[in-house]
Structure 1
């Protein structure tokens, strides 16, 4: 009995010691930490402006700048919305003016990453556009459906669209902002590089009324879903022209991560239940083949056999994603594991070996990544567990102690000895400092649980915005979901591309008439003219109905981006009339055709080769070119002279719709999938209903 009493006392002492080791955070303590993060951001931001602007990124050891991703002052655009979140409206307005004056468009002859340009530039500009009303900036009539930042974001997206002009609909990894896909560009790209567009492109489509962006992004997601392995896993790299996987390792980390993230966030933001269903299907096989004792490993996509028992720093986003679907209990177990690695080194290395419990000797750096603090921020908002504040403070202390330099904050080259590297990626200001700031700022407007809102006037009437539920893209740029429904109305319309094609046909008929000198065709021309007037009268009468139009619109559509059923009937009627008219040939024309086909052709009129033509081999072509003068050789070797098929966005969209390469998901209308238990800061009214508290679901 004495032994039992002693054991109980020891256990009680240990429990009490644990309780006392957890710091109690009062409101003033949290505010103090928030202000410390503000100072951190300000030091890095001011250093960028002083030493690096207009280059993309700051080099904090050299105290200068360097272009990395595109030579478009990347850090400045990436940091824009953080200024609004911190309430620094004066600086936000000043920087927006600088960006708009410097960057009229992105017509630059430079190769850029499609993935990085989308999440950092398109995402940054869209977020700044949607938050601009908070700064007191003068808004254009029709905002949020119009605005200079929105037009700039669309200019970038238009240049990225040609990357999707592939046989599978999955995009190339690199694009030239001026000319499109570079000659010789590899068709192999990573899974995340295919599946990380639906948030930004969906937002663009909903704001501008142009379905192009959302449809190409959604088509790419369907392509990945279609190319899953028989057991439901996806690989790491895929050939976008053939659909063949070139890297078969399957995991939730680098090269794959944001694909899963965007299935969840795209479902919430755009209210597309099929995306949530895709994620739930993936989640089941991930837990079956990749989850090992609250860690996730890498395995073959074909059989699920273990290949790499490692933890990647990039995987730290996963608990945050689970919290978005109401699974914070599971997420809390994961976050404790990930934080234990941080405590071991003071940072999380890029790769950590689970078997040895050590950082990889080849991937031992910490480039100021945000994923761990991102998940901590999400989980704290849902659970209010003070241990998450302690984790956040640990991260803040480590960065302040080991990454600070007089000119900013530096990448940690080796987490084992905290040596520094001369780079500060733009995501340090866009993500890491933002998630830290929001963790310690519980009253920020970003966390609005739906109790406040604002009414704005739009071309479609009054619209309620800023009611919370902000969805972050993978670069931490917040998107207000309520604004995506300000620029649409249930109007009937005709697809403008159909009208355009009809105009082209009629114009071609006029040209043919001008070239026809035979008087006997006058009667036919009159008939054609009467037919044209009949068609135009019918179209104009149909167009008089209310139509969805903004200055960027190229098509008319339903609120979900599809063409209306009545419109489909109208288009079919027009096509049927055109087909009947042009296929109607009189007997005279048929006889004339037969007569011409029987007409004798003399040998002088046509020379036919007696042998099958054999094209020269590559070696013969090269040898022939070498015989030419050098100036001609140089000209032929230039890429500029070669004719390239230009991607026409409207034709790309029509091709996707026509081919229907990938079937629609069966859960496209299952809106109950969106009614998951979500954190309080995702409470918002939506078309599908409301996100519910766990108590409401179980009640």
Structure 2
């Protein structure tokens, strides 16, 4: 909480922050702004810490305000559409808001659809939130962005030969000649709107997309999120399962058969399979209005004061 209180005092760019902070000065370092590696959990915890404590009487409304400002900044500075399919994605500002935009999106960014949906309804279904007149115009904008981004995250899987997503994808945007970001290198051409560079073609069994599918299914009750999750699960089963037991990361998801790495990250069991299990399970198991998941998929009970109980 002291760290979050400190973040509150630091200068930001429309609520967005650089991915580095100096342990000596306590000030942000550099200008690189992104929601991928090193940046993701900051935005996730602004809303989740507030939700986890919102009924306990804690004075943490500043976290919700910081979250809302940050999401406005995301929509204004980082969200773009690819061509020709119009996939909505979140890019990066490697040199800050005054520098050039990069159409690069880590798979890690796919946590955001679930976080946006959770921030909009606070864990109840959209239907209940609408019946209770709880959704603001900003909530509805964030829900729309959540659904659009979830579709893009699924497309990062569906577009490859194996049906599994790369670690990083680049998106075709206006002004790019179409030859790929590697100067027309034939090994790095666009597949529809998505370019996968050679060094980014590995899959580490990451959980972020299925995490968002789980949250969006709970909140929207749309069966397509289960259908997408099942396709992803079947691809994991087909290409990453090991005959002797366990699952493995892959070197290149664009070729069949993909070369296996003989390494299973712990988050596959701790997060990816957990979120897939919950996606297909009963909605009363770990309900999102009673629990909030930390960034490692551990469910924490939402605090309740005696007055609010």
Match of 1:333 among 148, 159, 163: 148
Q: d(CA) in 2 for partners of 1:403 and 1:378? A: 24
Given that residues 366 and 414 in structure 1 are in contact (C-alpha distance below 8 angstroms), is that contact kept between their aligned partners in structure 2? yes
SS at match of 1:235: coil
| Structure 1 Cα separation of the partners of residues 77 and 108 of structure 2 | 19
| CA distance in 1 between partners of 2:252 and 2:29 (Å) | 31
The Cα of 1:247 is off from its aligned counterpart by 3.6
Give per-residue Cα distances to partners, 1:229-284, cap 9 Å, x unaligned: 45543111121112344442101111110110011110000122221111111111
Mapped pair 1:387 → 2:224:
yes
- Which residue is 2:291 aligned to? 470
Residue aligning to 1:343: 158
User: Can you list the C-alpha shifts for 1:349-370, whole angstroms capped at 9, x where unaligned?
Assistant: 1111113422122222111100
Considering fraction of residues, name the structure with more helix: 1
| 1:181-236 CA distance string (max 9 Å, x none) | xxxxxxxxxxxxxxxxxxxxxxxxxxxxxxxxxxxxx2212323333345543111
Task: Verify: 1:439 aligned to 2:279, yes or no.
Answer: yes
Unaligned runs of 5+ in 2: 55-59, 82-87, 121-141, 173-179, 181-193
Bigger Cα Rg: 1
| Deviation at residue 444 of structure 1 after TM alignment | 4.4
- Does residue 352 in structure 1 map to residue 173 in structure 2? no
Instruction: Report matched runs for 1:295-694 at 5 Å.
Output: 295-300=89-94, 302-326=96-120, 327-345=142-160, 346-355=163-172, 356=180, 357-405=194-242, 406-417=244-255, 418-447=258-287, 469-482=290-303, 687=308
Residue by residue over 1:333-385, the C-alpha shift from the partner in whole angstroms, topping out at 9 and shown as x without a partner, is: 11111111110121111111113422122222111100000000011111121
* Equivalent residues of 1:328, 1:382 under 8 A apart: no
Structure 1 spans left out of the alignment, 5+ residues: 1-217, 450-467, 487-685, 690-699
Structure 1 consecutive aligned stretches of length 4 or more whose deviation exceeds 4 Å:
none
Moved more, 248-257 or 296-305: 296-305
Distance 2:28 2:16 in 1: 12
Q: Across the two proteins, how many residue pairs are aligned to each other? A: 252
TM-score between both structures, scaled by the size of structure 1: 0.35
* 1:443, distance to aligned residue in structure 2 (A): 4.5
Matched, 1:284 2:78: no
> Taking structure 1 as reference, are residues 226 and 444 closer, same or farther at Cα in structure 2, changes over 3 Å only?
same
Q: 1:301 to 1:264 in 2, by over 3 A?
A: farther
Q: Summarize deviations over 1:644-690 as a string: whole Å, max 9, x none.
A: xxxxxxxxxxxxxxxxxxxxxxxxxxxxxxxxxxxxxxxxxx83x9x
Tell me, in whole angstroms, the C-alpha distance in 1 between the residues paired with 2:39 and 2:61.
Answer: 21
Q: CA separation in 2, counterparts of 1:430 and 1:230? A: 34
TM, length-normalised to structure 2: 0.76
Aligned counterpart for 1:259 among listed residues 42, 48, 63: 42
